[in-house]
Amino acid sequence: MYHSVRDLIDQATQRGVTIGTVVLENEMAFTEKTAEEVRSELRRRYGIMSESIVRALNEPQHMVLELISGQSKKQNDYTAAGNTLCGELLGRIMSRALSACEVNASMGRICAAPTAGSCGIVPAVVSEVARARAVSEEVLMDALLTACGVGAVITRNATVAGAEGGCQAECGTAAAMAGAAAVIMAGGSAEMVDACVAIVLMNCMGLVCDPVAGLVQLPCSYRNASQAVNAVLSADLALAGQNSVISADEAIAAMYKVGRQLPPELRETAAGGIAVTPTGKKLHKELKKMQ
């Protein structure tokens, strides 16, 4: 059993195993499943993730108001042209994160990791880092298990709900999970995972949840793309040996406290932020006419 990121690291270090192994054994004990059964379920869910991040790359998905339809294809085409500022890896990650968001908005099948509103971050980062690093399935599974462990800790000690903690709780948590997985796939240490999670959360501390017209489209899709990039840059900072100074567990506690301090208007109510801009209000009226 583990209750914090430090618990995960200490148990892994003391036993000479990976963080993923600690998470796997805990899941086995909790669900009474074998290691292979747990991995099989993880493969199934990763398969759903993998489908969602490619479906809209070449075929725009359709949804109410069409606020984000075609975003993924546009980003994918731009990346394929080879003249991006961010480079191929980040371009591919962004287009895939956007794809999952389109699939979600069009009522397609996604894997909430940890939420539907943040569904593009973990799969986009994990799939593309795995491709770039040519990692084995064993390493991929270990990375996904590590991400699961980080997500479980945040769920236990803070929140992953935008209605309770803002978008920092949704996309921020997803980025922390994705960043942790990226560190593992890049051969980083358990302490680097801790630093990465802390850096990710510091980078998005206070991020509000202000969905236009109350739909999980804007700014959700752009935040999936930006927080996927946050995950990768935070992983690189940690892999470079940067000291986060603030531990992951402290950052998680701070994120939760900040989330509770956010006014209700900035916690998924569509009553603040960009949701109440003139355009946001206009789109809300259009949606009400359709209902």
Q: pLDDT band for position 141 (50/70/90)? A: very high
Q: Is pLDDT at 19 greater than 90 in this prediction?
A: yes
Radius of gyration of the CA atoms of the chain, in A: 18
pTM: 0.98
Distance CA 34, CA 243 (A): 37
The pLDDT assigned to 86 comes to 97
Q: How far is CA 84 from the centre of its chain?
A: 23
Q: What is the DSSP letter of 163?
A: H
What is the average pLDDT value for the chain, to the nearest integer? 98
Question: Under a CB-based contact definition with an 8 Å cutoff, are residues 72 and 96 in contact?
Answer: yes
Question: Under a CB-based contact definition with an 8 Å cutoff, are residues 156 and 3 in contact?
Answer: yes
> How large a percentage of the chain has pLDDT more than 90?
99
> How large a percentage of the chain has pLDDT more than 70?
100
For residue 33, the tally of other CB atoms under 10 A from its CB is 14
Is CATH 1.10.4100 correct for 5-290? yes
Q: Is pLDDT at 291 greater than 90 in this prediction?
A: no
Q: pLDDT band for position 115 (50/70/90)? A: very high
Rounded to an integer, the average pLDDT of 118-124 is 98
Closest CA to 125 of 193, 199, 176: 176
Rounded to an integer, the average pLDDT of 193-222 is 98
Sequence spans of domains, the chain = 5-290
For residue 51, the tally of other CB atoms under 10 A from its CB is 17
Q: Is pLDDT at 46 greater than 90 in this prediction?
A: yes
The pLDDT tens digits of the residues spanning 210-223 come to 999 999 999 999 99
Q: pLDDT band for position 174 (50/70/90)? A: very high
β-bridge mates for residue 209, sequence order: 267
Task: Establish how many alpha carbons lie within 13 A of residue 233's alpha carbon, considering only the half-sphere containing its beta carbon.
Answer: 15
Closest CA to 196 of 231, 229, 225: 231
